[in-house]
Structures are given as structure tokens and as C-alpha cells.
Structure 1
């Protein structure tokens, strides 16, 4: 093939497809959505021979072309839509070499679509270790295609795969796997005559899936429906016959090409480890202990790089104040942009450490076990095991977590999962938690090694989890449905983490955090600086005249008066007016009007809280008052009492508010897109805000 190829990667879940995608593309990849659908699409570019590039499309992991969810529908849509921008020239089917019988079902379906195919036998090392000997040449000859054995984790066989991609033909060479025409001869014949199809199997798939294909017009879909009725076509019966025929073909194929060394059989290491890690009682205890280690590490390992970043921003502020003339622009740059940006960048080490551990747990195969262990608990509160995936994903970000609920077929389970997932403490809450914990929780050790700060952070994440579970139990009683959900999952074997791929994930997550959160925070910081700097002109001028007179007095403390003037101007500004307006509502929670401003701006994104407080206290401080945001909050005093603003009771009330409140416009938007109704995001916003207010009120009144 010449020019830039389009290559689609397809395979069952847990076959190492994403690892192979990373091997082929490295950092040259991007994540977006499939056209018209909010399903994640990963694309990247692989460098082949002679300067040729191939665009690699990583399709969602599926077991079969027969779709049960939106993610699965995408696969056939991409392979079928000849006018689509993603239509591949070549399909690479990634199969687990140690479990070929199951994996080859998808291969036979893709092969019968008559698109050029390469079969990749991934995890060939595991197959060899288990005594499975695959005659690759014979398998290739029987299938009529290139078969490439690969160990994607160690990047073995990837260069051979690139060469095979480079030399691939535009013509499908694979042999037919089953006699598709026998399943519905008259219907397949009529669809083939009326529609542009590559093969009889594509015609059969149109009969099965025409209602879900966006590339078909309503008229075309209705035409296929009429043909089905004309020929008394029953989709489920046809699928059952097809599956039996395919497994008969696969059994014959494996009998000739694959041999099992009986002496190598026995209990696998993964099964032995699972007896401990998935134990009914000890398994959950081990999971909680692992979570504690993660949160302990977030405080311990992030402190030094955070200190360096903090010092760096103080130096930048000092340098800018030295080289720029005093004035509005300098104030905007230092007190608005730089102060707001520091509130993002300083937490990158903690975000990176969190995603490092999440990536390790996923890469080793442990996260799949957590999903398996939580299935029974999920069912007791009215959900099913598939709800665990979005809930655990919610620890990173609620937006992709809610999108992942598409795999839940049961409508009731899916709606409840969508409604409760934002209660899971996401990475956007991490900067708020760690900042407030560092302010009020001493860095003491229990028994010489248990960090109080780490335990508190673990507690905040567990509060979010139990709140989500409790809310789901309540909603189970309210939302009615007769559908029953099910949960089927194959546990991957335990593997050593691949540090290069974990590094790629950490880089991508940190970049996303800085670019996505950073854009919002800087925009909010600039708007906030304007609102905090300007106010009703008559009142602002009166303050200027008042302090001009005071500064002329003998023995006037210029520095102290300047600070008082800044504080009074902030209170009189538009931001101050806004904060004072809502203060009576939030005062019972222990919050002053400055925290009130942060609560409002945080509805853009929770992590804006830190940048908001940095901007407010920067504007309030006098010229040259360059200290870090953590020091500013620690030194903040109540003007009436002289007591610290951030007391133990206030800090914990604030953390509880952020744990429960729906302060994320992006999440509200994605819930609307997923449910196609404004009702559900409004219900979500209402119950979460009420829960946050009541819980924070109780916490403050008890602790104060």
C-alpha cells in the first residue's frame, strides 16, 4: 500500500491492544470522540519503512461484532461506513495467544467482512509458558493472511508487525471462515443487490444492526426492516447458528495448528495470588491498605517537588514585580495570572503520583480484581458489577467515568450509576483536600509510620465512596425498572507493570490537567482579579481619599495602612459585594465571604478553589507581599476576632462540601449529553448541593 494508511486495531478486552497501540505510536497520539458520539477515540501515527506513516485507530475492546452497548456499536460502524473518515484500509485483530479459542471468534467475524486483515498473536510469552505451541506458519497458511507473534509488553515483534503493515495489500487475502449465505440466503441476496456491501457477511450484519448505524438513512433502515419481515428473519436465532458454525471452524483450526503440552498444565500463579487478593474478607482489607499507601505517598513524595514549584513561582512573582512598573497590568499579571497559575502547577506532583498508582494497579491486573470483588456489594445497593468501572474511574475524573456507563445495558442501573458517580472523589478535589489537610492536620505519625495526613486523605476518598453507595441504595427505592443487569468479566493474568507505558499515561494525564484545568483557572483568575480590583467608583475613590489622609499623618505605618487599604478595597469590590451577598447563607457552615467567592467560582471546576484563594489573598495583600498560597491561607485571620479563618472545623466542613457538591460544569454537560434530558442533571445538581450543605453544616456545628 502507498500513501498514509488507516489501520484499525480491534480485539477482545485484556488482549494488550492498548499496549500494542502505545508501542506503535509512542507519544504521537491523541484522544477525541468518534464523530457524533461521545465515545473515546484514540488515534496515533506509526512510522513505517521509507518514511511512510500509518494512522492507527484504537477501537473499543469487544468480544463480538454484535453490539450490546454504544462502545461496541462503534466497531462495526467504523468497519462498515465506506464514506466515513475512519474507514480503515487494514484491520489488525489482536488476539491473546494463550486463549485463542475465545479470541478467534472476533477474528472470523472481521475476516468475513472482506477487509484486509493481519492477525497479531499477543502475549506469545504467556502461551509458551503455559505449554501452548502455535504453528504460526501453518495458521497463517490456513487463514491466508500474515500472522505475527508479539510480546507487546516487551516491544518484541512490533518491528515485524510494522513491516507487515507496510507490505499489506489493498486486497483481502483471508480465506472464508464459514458459509454465511446458508444462514439467511434470500435475505442476504436481496440486501446485497440493494446496498453496496463487500461481502455476504456485511449484508448479514446490516440485517442485525441497521437500527444502530448512523451511516444508514431512516429510509434505508426501514427498507432492511421490511426485507427482514418479508423473509421471516430472526436475529437471535441467526446469531446462535452463526456462533455454533464459527466455533466448529475454530475447533478444527486449533486442532491442526495449536498443541498443548499437558505436563505444563496446572494451577497458574495468577490463580494462587487471587486466592489471597480476592478473598471475601482479606481482599477488601488489602485493597483499603493499598489505598492508604497511595494517599500516604501523595503527601510524602510530593512535598519536595511542590516546595520547589512554590519557590519557583515566588521567584517569578518577585522578578516580575522588580522589572515591571507598578500599575494595573503588573497587578493583573502577578495577582491574577501568575497567582492563579501557581494554584494549578503546584499540584502537578500530587496528580502525577495519583495517576502513577492508578496506572500501576491497572497494568498489573489488580484493578480488574477490585471490580470483581465489588460486584456483590454493588448488587446489594441496586447496581451491578459493571457499575464498579465508572465508580473507580470517577477517582480520576467523572466525565470519562460517566461516559463509560454505556457498557451498562440495564437502564435503571445506568441512570443510578450516572447520578452517583460524581460523589467519588476525583483528581480535581485532590488539590482542595491536600491544601486544607496540610493547614489543619499535623504531620504526625501514628505507631511511627502511619501519617495522620495520609489517613485523613484516605478518609475523604472513602467518604465519597460510601456516599455514592448510600445514594445508590436510596435511588434503587425511587427509580423503578423490571430489567435485570448482569456482569461478565474475564480477569487478566498478573503482570509486571510496563514503566514506559505508565510514563506515557502520567505525561498525558499531567498535560491534560494543566491544559484543561489551567485554561479554566487562568480565565477565572483574570475575571476574578477584575471583580476583586474594581468596584463602585464612588466607594473606591472614598477609600483612596481616606488612606491618603491617613498616610499624611505623622508616624503613619505605611506598610500596615497599605495592607488595610487593600483589604477594604477587596471588601468593597464587585467580588466582595458578591461574597457579602451570599455570606448569610454560608456563615452557618463556617465560611466567610472570601470562601463564598471561591465556592461560586468552583462551579467552573473544583480545582479553581486554590487559584481563587490565591488571587483573593494576592489582591488583598499589599505590594511586594509575595508569599505562597499555603502560607497566605495559614496566616489568614478573622478581622473581628483575630482568630484563624481556616480552623479545624472550617477546613473539615469545607472538605465535606467539596466532597459532595456538584461543582463541575463539564460533568453536568456530559450527564445531559448521556441522558439526553435536562431532568437528570438538574436532579443531580439539586440532591448533591443539598447533601453538601446539610453535611457541611452538621460537621461544622459539631466540630466548632
Structure 2
């Protein structure tokens, strides 16, 4: 039976009600993650077997009402519109949370009154006794005219009853109970003006009044220790002073974890692919195809795989914070400050994550509901100093900044700190400018829920990490591998006689000198790179980069580093005929590098120019690929590349010209 012929179940509800936990419980590892057509909001689909029959289960994004104010809410409305026009779904399962029925029921009653087949599943009923909550389920069913099933996803309570009801459910005639709402939903389009929204807003106000009356006599709640715990924790987490302190302490832990904990697995992956390349060259016959596999394809795949530890660790932390209920507190305390720059509280996590790697940081922007704020966050996050820039920073700082102390602090350490600060300032100031000039429509309303604190589910955290990591590998990976192969081709081929006759020319040049076989091969490699297509490009752009203090060799390293910032060091090691990439060897060779007039290439003006270029320039091709993947268009990454490269060029040129 094909997926399209399966009976369908759709999970809907507000955020933080346990909807995704229920989806994971029902589908297990039979689920897959993709994007809705035309947008980057994730679509989770899985399979569930009830008796002898199989169902397809879809988890829609969490939303508070039928009135869309974000991209994921537009996805939900679009899904509902399609369902009303051409019914396909067997049943909607609306997941509510026992402590927040008053708020949860607004969206539920809207879906019910549209005539959709729906059942209400009240989650976390295992906490009712401890929280001193009692609900008259029979009367609630009577008042809502809907089947109500109490469940606990965490404990597994009521899930069999839910599946039994769904398995035997037979949808009747669909008839809207609210014609005003039905007419608005079926006719709504994205270009409706604010007056068109007055209908639904007025409708929502009337609904909330009826829901309040219903909850007041059906749900009884007494003060409990959970209320006291939540109040005490919120006094700290939402405090105007202590809240940010706790937040920055957690961010420090996240940054340390992503940067430090991923070091060994990343080194292992890097070594694995390096050994695989060497093994491939040894086993396969010599030739272009072998070089393509060993020097292009395998390193390209490795360039994708090496990010997996960082992505997995980052999303593990994010999933843990979301599951625990703390992430909403972070959004609340950060929103007021970030909004002044055109961002929101939800932009904080991607920006801080960008200090480890821009790729998972850009992916983390998916949590931002507002389309304009999400796009601005994606565009400015690469300004944050990623860990890949550190080798460049450390090498150049060691070359041009003296190791002196001021008030007990090393000047080199101060320089490194300033580079991080410059990246952050560039991000928020760029966000401010983009917010002023970007013409995207955006709602100003800010809704953030303060859910109950709870212990994160290990299964939910694992599935979140697994699905998002898989999404990165298969979505962005295809682009990254292709671009890596292009770079290999440019560095491995040339049209000039010098490139084609490199071995002969190098032999003649060093005839009579006692070079070892390894030294001779290194000379040939450096000569071929100089006269390869990418070397020729370096010579070609030398007039453009000369105002920055760069010669063609630095230009080639800069061009090559768009594959990954660390490549800057490797490129210089090859160009300067150093047979390895040991830091000291490269540093010493660079220190000895002279211009035609005998002056040092890496003096203070050139060093500061290089540092500023890497502070502001686009991070790497991998980042461009993931921005394209997240925005669904090459428009934004191209504009991003031009914008950041222009700032980097002007800043580097100004520094060199002023300091020279």
C-alpha cells in the first residue's frame, strides 16, 4: 500500500503541549523529516499501525490560533484550507495540556467549528494529582460535543484508548458550525489587509469568553508545590539581573560543549577521511578519476561529516532547553533588547551558536516564527566569529601583535577578544540596517508561552538531534560536496605551459641542489598551485587585493579558504613549500617571507588587514549552502556574500592604508 493511500492522522495543537512527544511515541523511528513545499518549516511524517491497518501520521507545527502570524502558522492554515476544499484526513488529534486548557481550547474550538473531524487528547494527566487539578471529563465532552481522551505521553497512559478510538473512527458529514469563521478561513490569502483580520480577532474574543466560562466550572485547581516551584524558578530566570546572568552561564556551557566536546570526534572524522583518501590513492589506479575521488569527492563528503558532532551537540542542548521549558524564558528576557535591532529573543541562540559554527547556528534560526526576524538572523549570524577562524586569528596575531602585558592581560589575548566583539557588533548593527530597509511584511505581536518545567524526554531529545542532523547531511551536503569538487578541480588543473611542464621546469630550476624526494615533490606541488587555474586567479586578482596589502599568494589562500576558513593555513603551507601544516613551521616560514623591496610581508598593517577581512567576510561555502537550503533561494546567500565581502574589503583596505 502506498503512502498516499494510507488513512491519515494529523496532530495539531499549541506549542509545548507534548504534541511532538505524542508523535514520537506513536511513530517511533518510522518517521521522516522534510520541508513543506515552498517553505523551510519542517514537516514530520511517520507511520502507525493500529490492528491490521496502517496510518500516516503528520505532525503540524504548533500554533495558537487559526490567525497566522508566522511562517509555520501559515503552513497550518494552508493545510486546513486544503482539507476544507478537498477532504483527505481521517481525523485530527488535538493535543492539549492539562494545566493550560484555558489557552489551548481556543484553537481547538476553531478547528471543531470548521467541521473538521477531531478528537481532544488532554496530555500530562499523570500530574493532575500532584498539581491538585480535577476535570469533569464527561461534562467537558458534553459541552464541547467532542470525544475527550485523557492521556500521559510520558507514562503511556490512555494511548491505547486513543489508538482504539482513532482506529474505529468513521467520519460523518462535515458541516461547519461557525459559518463566519468558515468563510474567513476559505477566503483568506496572504495579501489580506489588517481590516480583514478584524473578523477573526473579534471571533476569537467571543470564543475566549465562552471558554473561560466553561473552564471555571469544569476544571478545579488548588495551589500546589508545583506552582510554588515554578514561581520560585521564574523569580530567578526572569529576573532583570539574575535572569541574564543564568542565561549567559548556560550559553557558556553550550559554547564550551559545542567547541570542546566536538573536538575529538571531529579530529577522528577528519583523520578517517584523510586516511580514506590516502588508501584510495594507494588502491585505485593512478589517474584523474582517482584524484577526483581521493582529493575532491572524499574530502567533500568529509567536509559535510566533520560538522556532525557540532550539529548534534548544539541541537542536543537546544532540544534539552526546549523540553525543559527554559527556552521560553530565554526568549522572554532577550526579546526586549534584541527587538531594538530588528531581531527577537529567539535570535539569541543562533547568534551565540555562531561562535562555534555558522552552519548549525543558521539551522537553529528555524525556531524563530517571525519570517522577517528569522531571515535577518540567518543573514547576520555569519558575522559571529566561528571556531574555524581561530587558527587564522592565532597565527596572524602571533606574527604581528607583540606578547606584552597591560594590567596583567596579554595584548594578544586582548586582540583576540576585540575580534569577537567586532563580529558581534557587526551582526547586530547589520540587523538594525536590514530591519530598516527590508520590505517584508511582519507582525509586531510577540507571543511567548511560559510552559511548565519538566524533565526532558531522552527519546525526544535523541529524535530531535537525529532528524536535524540527518536533514543537514542530506540537504546541505549535496551542495557542499559539489562545490568542494569544483574547488579541487580549479586547484588541480591549469592551462599554462608552466602548469603542464611543472616537473621539468622545477627540475631545471633546482638542478644541482641536493633536494630530497619529498622536498622535490613539495616544490612541484607549490609550482603547480601557482600556475593552476586558482593560482592564475590569484595573479589575476592581485591588482584588486594589493590595496589590502596582499600578494598573489595571500590572495590564493583567501580564495581557497572559502571552502573552509582553516584552508587558509593549508593553502599557505602549500604555497610556501612547507611539507606539513605544523603551526610553528608555517609561522616561521611566514615570518621570513619578504616583499620585493626586502620588507616583511606580514607586518602590522597587513596582519590587521587580514584579521579584519576574516572578521567581516562570509565564513565559507558551507555556510552559503546552508543559507540557500534554509531560505530556499540563491538570492539571499548571494546578497549575503556581496554585502559581507564588501564590508570585509573596505575594512581591510582602510586598516592597511591607515597603518602603512
Question: TM-score interval w.r.t. the shorter chain?
Answer: 0.7 to 0.9
Q: Does 1:574 align with 2:533?
A: yes
| Deviation (angstroms), 1:92 | 0.7
1:425-452, CA deviations, whole angstroms, 9 ceiling, x for partnerless residues? 499x74623554676799xxxxxxx9x9
RMSD of the alignment, in Å?
4.8
Q: Which residue of 2 aligns with 1:258?
A: 219
Aligned pairs (5 A) from 1:234-313: 239=200, 242-243=203-204, 245-247=206-208, 249-251=210-212, 253-255=214-216, 257-260=218-221, 262-264=222-224, 267-313=227-273
Q: Which residue of 2 aligns with 1:316?
A: 276
* Aligned counterpart in structure 2 of residue 500 of structure 1, from 459, 468, 481: 459
Q: Residues of 2 paired with 1:142 and 1:276: CA distance?
A: 40
Q: Do the aligned partners of residues 69 and 502 (structure 1) sit closer, same or farther apart at CA in structure 2, a change above 3 Å counting?
A: closer
- Paired residues of 1:417 and 1:472 also in contact (CA < 8 A): no
Q: Which residue of 2 aligns with 1:131?
A: 132
Q: Which residue of 2 aligns with 1:372?
A: 332
1:128-150, CA deviations, whole angstroms, 9 ceiling, x for partnerless residues? 33211123344345545442323
SS in 2 for 1:152: coil
- Paired residues of 1:94 and 1:122 also in contact (CA < 8 A): yes
Q: Residues of 1 paired with 2:394 and 2:41: CA distance?
A: 36
1:641-667, CA deviations, whole angstroms, 9 ceiling, x for partnerless residues? 499989985774454134689962663
| Deviation (angstroms), 1:568 | 0.6
Residue ranges of structure 2 left out of the alignment (5+ in a row): 399-408
| Deviation (angstroms), 1:369 | 1.5
* Aligned counterpart in structure 2 of residue 31 of structure 1, from 27, 30, 33: 33
Q: Do the aligned partners of residues 639 and 538 (structure 1) sit closer, same or farther apart at CA in structure 2, a change above 3 Å counting?
A: farther
Q: Do the aligned partners of residues 266 and 295 (structure 1) sit closer, same or farther apart at CA in structure 2, a change above 3 Å counting?
A: closer
Q: Do the aligned partners of residues 491 and 696 (structure 1) sit closer, same or farther apart at CA in structure 2, a change above 3 Å counting?
A: farther
| Deviation (angstroms), 1:95 | 0.7
Q: Residues of 2 paired with 1:168 and 1:635: CA distance?
A: 76
* Aligned counterpart in structure 1 of residue 299 of structure 2, from 339, 342, 345: 339
- Paired residues of 2:392 and 2:566 also in contact (CA < 8 A): no
Q: Do the aligned partners of residues 517 and 664 (structure 1) sit closer, same or farther apart at CA in structure 2, a change above 3 Å counting?
A: same
Aligned length: 638
Q: Which residue of 2 aligns with 1:352?
A: 312
| Deviation (angstroms), 1:569 | 0.9
Q: Do the aligned partners of residues 396 and 619 (structure 1) sit closer, same or farther apart at CA in structure 2, a change above 3 Å counting?
A: closer
Q: Do the aligned partners of residues 593 and 334 (structure 1) sit closer, same or farther apart at CA in structure 2, a change above 3 Å counting?
A: farther
Q: Which residue of 2 aligns with 1:77?
A: 78
| Deviation (angstroms), 1:372 | 0.8
1:215-236, CA deviations, whole angstroms, 9 ceiling, x for partnerless residues? xxx9xx9xxx9xxxxxxxx966
| Deviation (angstroms), 1:104 | 1.3
- Paired residues of 2:324 and 2:456 also in contact (CA < 8 A): yes
Q: Does 1:541 align with 2:504?
A: no
Q: Which residue of 1 aligns with 2:406?
A: none
Q: Do the aligned partners of residues 62 and 478 (structure 1) sit closer, same or farther apart at CA in structure 2, a change above 3 Å counting?
A: closer
Q: Which residue of 1 aligns with 2:107?
A: 106
Q: Residues of 2 paired with 1:315 and 1:280: CA distance?
A: 52
Task: Provide the TM-score with structure 2 as the length reference.
Answer: 0.80
Q: Which residue of 2 aligns with 1:13?
A: 15
Q: Which residue of 2 aligns with 1:560?
A: 519
| Deviation (angstroms), 1:68 | 3.6
Q: Does 1:424 align with 2:381?
A: yes
| Deviation (angstroms), 1:124 | 2.3
- Paired residues of 1:384 and 1:486 also in contact (CA < 8 A): no
- Paired residues of 1:14 and 1:492 also in contact (CA < 8 A): yes
* Aligned counterpart in structure 1 of residue 288 of structure 2, from 324, 328, 351: 328
Q: Which residue of 1 aligns with 2:183?
A: 207
Q: Do the aligned partners of residues 329 and 158 (structure 1) sit closer, same or farther apart at CA in structure 2, a change above 3 Å counting?
A: same
Q: Residues of 2 paired with 1:358 and 1:306: CA distance?
A: 20
| Deviation (angstroms), 1:93 | 0.6
Q: Residues of 1 paired with 2:69 and 2:539: CA distance?
A: 52
Q: Residues of 1 paired with 2:619 and 2:255: CA distance?
A: 20
SS in 2 for 1:151: coil
Q: Which residue of 2 aligns with 1:53?
A: 54
SS in 2 for 1:200: coil
Aligned pairs (5 A) from 1:453-464: 463-464=422-423
Q: Which residue of 2 aligns with 1:171?
A: 172
SS in 2 for 1:45: strand
SS in 2 for 1:94: strand
Q: Residues of 1 paired with 2:329 and 2:416: CA distance?
A: 23
Q: Which residue of 2 aligns with 1:690?
A: 646
Q: Residues of 2 paired with 1:95 and 1:455: CA distance?
A: 52
| Deviation (angstroms), 1:154 | 5.1
| Deviation (angstroms), 1:577 | 0.8
Q: Do the aligned partners of residues 239 and 505 (structure 1) sit closer, same or farther apart at CA in structure 2, a change above 3 Å counting?
A: closer
Q: Residues of 1 paired with 2:458 and 2:54: CA distance?
A: 26
SS in 2 for 1:286: helix
SS in 1 for 2:171: coil
- Paired residues of 1:22 and 1:501 also in contact (CA < 8 A): yes
Q: Residues of 1 paired with 2:447 and 2:59: CA distance?
A: 23
* Aligned counterpart in structure 2 of residue 407 of structure 1, from 354, 367, 370: 370
Q: Residues of 2 paired with 1:116 and 1:213: CA distance?
A: 24
Q: Residues of 1 paired with 2:128 and 2:586: CA distance?
A: 58
- Paired residues of 2:95 and 2:121 also in contact (CA < 8 A): yes
Q: Residues of 1 paired with 2:197 and 2:593: CA distance?
A: 74
| Deviation (angstroms), 1:362 | 2.3
Q: Do the aligned partners of residues 336 and 439 (structure 1) sit closer, same or farther apart at CA in structure 2, a change above 3 Å counting?
A: farther
Task: Provide the TM-score with structure 1 as the length reference.
Answer: 0.75
Q: Residues of 2 paired with 1:524 and 1:96: CA distance?
A: 47
Q: Residues of 1 paired with 2:157 and 2:414: CA distance?
A: 42
Q: Does 1:525 align with 2:472?
A: no
- Paired residues of 2:556 and 2:571 also in contact (CA < 8 A): no
Q: Residues of 2 paired with 1:482 and 1:509: CA distance?
A: 28
Q: Do the aligned partners of residues 46 and 108 (structure 1) sit closer, same or farther apart at CA in structure 2, a change above 3 Å counting?
A: same
Q: Do the aligned partners of residues 550 and 379 (structure 1) sit closer, same or farther apart at CA in structure 2, a change above 3 Å counting?
A: closer
| Deviation (angstroms), 1:354 | 2.3
- Paired residues of 1:391 and 1:401 also in contact (CA < 8 A): no
| Deviation (angstroms), 1:294 | 1.9
| Deviation (angstroms), 1:98 | 0.6
1:512-568, CA deviations, whole angstroms, 9 ceiling, x for partnerless residues? 333334323322232222222221242323433323556875855332222111111
| Deviation (angstroms), 1:97 | 0.9
Aligned pairs (5 A) from 1:195-234: 198-201=174-177, 203-213=179-189
